[in-house]
Copies of this chain bind each other. A is one copy, B any other.
Amino acid sequence: MIKQLLLAPGPTPVPARVRAALARPVIHHRTPQFGELFGRTREALRELFGTDGDVLMLSSSGSGAMESAIVNCFAPGDKVVVINGGKFGERWLELAKMYSLEVVEIAVDWGSAVRVEQVEQALKDHPDARGVLVQGSETSTTTCHPIEDIAKLTRERDVLLAVDGITAVGVYDVPMDRWGIDILVTGSQKALMLPPGLACIALSERAWERAKSVCQPRYYFDLARERKSQAGNSTAYTPAISLIFGLEEALSMMKEEGFPQVFARHERNARATRAGVEALGLELLSPNDPSPAATGLYVPEGVDGKKLHGYLRDKMGVAFAGGQGHLKGKIVRLGHLGYIGAFDVITSLSALEMGLRHFGHKVELGRGVGAAQEILMSALPD
């Protein structure tokens, strides 16, 4: 028996309380009983998103919600600035092109964040831009873009800021209304501690206004239709009922811990992970703008990244994520979002140390772990 541990940047481990909720008998969705559950969940999501507006739940992966952002808020020919610094930046790019938007691409090195000045310059060069599309946390490169500062630029222009917050919402504070984000998306299988299959999206009032004039065919992802249904605690199409049971439970757990404490835990675990990686003399993928959701590191020379990743998963029971796109085989990503405690960080680093040693890389066992412990000690109660 090899005990299986999921330590990837998503899907993330689902707590037993949430799994028990997923196993509840299904109830019919056109009932007051479901309506009450749905209403409570909507309220908790509002709090998490930091918005007075509606947070809609869609039965799809996060990519479906990203598509809904495009087809509801941008018309063919609309010019959008796309921050492309990883696989999910590419996803925005592909979506924008598929729906005939005119794309101004800001290509960013994988592992770096866009600089606010680049966005400002793009908006100056393209005063007719109608939107900026960006990741709150680019999962493929474990990097955060400066959302708050970008929002300062977009909110004073007629430019909608669309944020893929799939590994941002619930990881760090993304107060939508306060910052002035226009479109914020997340998925269930990340900080929300659920299996995949549910996505959430919220729009600002001006994004809803814009949607009224956008002529783009849409049906399953028609957000105005969903908004009308969901305001009455129902959904336009049959919802993923069990995932909503689970979502209520997961949001309860987060509120019991306290959202600020959840964010602080992510920040601390991320810092401890990075300290451990650096103590091992390994190179961080994103040294300057790291995401609190996951930590990417370059596999050292002489070690086959694909083999390392497979060995950790199949022989040691620890499922990290590898690299995507041109980083395939070159990096490992340690997830630390969602239901992750201090000892999951210890496990991650310990597995990394042992895996590297197994493949002949010179590692002082315990050194990365020790560096992480120094940081994790700070959170111990008196």
Interface residues of A, Cβ cutoff 8 Å to B: 4, 6, 8, 10-14, 19-20, 22-32, 59-64, 67, 94-95, 98-100, 187, 189, 195-198, 217-221, 237-243, 313-314, 319, 321-322
CB–CB B219/A95 < 8 A? yes
Distance in angstroms from A30 CB to nearest chain B CB is: 7
Q: List 27 A-B contacts (CB under 8 A).
A: A6-B27, A6-B28, A8-B28, A11-B27, A11-B28, A12-B26, A20-B23, A22-B23, A22-B242, A23-B23, A26-B189, A26-B195, A29-B196, A31-B313, A31-B319, A59-B196, A60-B60, A60-B220, A61-B220, A61-B238, A63-B220, A95-B219, A196-B238, A196-B240, A197-B197, A197-B243, A240-B240
- Closest chain-B Cβ to A70's Cβ sits at a distance in Å of 8
Given A32-B314, A197-B197, 19 more A-B residue pairs with CB atoms under 8 Å apart are A4-B27, A11-B26, A11-B28, A13-B25, A22-B242, A26-B189, A59-B59, A61-B240, A62-B237, A62-B238, A63-B219, A63-B237, A63-B238, A98-B219, A187-B238, A195-B240, A197-B198, A197-B239, A242-B242
Q: How far is the CB of A91 from chain B (nearest CB, A)?
A: 9
Once the chains bind, are A61 and B237 in contact (CB under 8 Å)? yes
- Expressed in whole angstroms, the Cα–Cα distance for A24 and B11 within the complex equals 13
Separation of A241 and B322 alpha carbons in the complex (Å): 19
CB distance from A300 to the nearest CB of B (A): 23
Q: Are B59 and A61 in contact (CB under 8 A)?
A: yes
User: Which chain B residues border A239 with CB–CB below 8 Å?
Assistant: 61, 196-197
Q: When the two chains form the complex, which single residue of B8, B11, B30, B240 contacts A197, counting CB atoms closer than 8 Å?
A: B240
**Smallest Cβ-Cβ distance to A245: which chain B residue:** B195
A238 touching B11, Cβ below 8 Å: yes
Cβ-defined partner of A217 (8 Å) among B100, B198, B322: B100
Beta-carbon nearest neighbor of A95 in chain B: B219
A10 / chain B contacts, CB cutoff of 8 Å? 238
Find chain B residues with CB under 8 A from A218 CB: 98
Chain B neighbourhood of A221, CB < 8 A: 220
Q: Which of A24, A31, A220 has the most CB of B within 10 A?
A: A220
B59 adjacent to A94 (CB under 8 Å): no
CB-defined contacts of A219 to chain B, threshold 8 Å: 63, 67, 94-95, 98-99
B residues in contact with A314, CB < 8 Å: 32
In the bound complex, residues from chain B placing their C-beta under 8 Å from that of A4 are 25, 27
Known contacts A59-B59, A217-B100; is-contact A19 B25 (Cβ 8 Å): yes
* Chain B residues, CB < 8 A from A197: 59, 197-198, 239-243
CA of A112 to CA of B20 in the docked complex: distance in angstroms?
A: 43
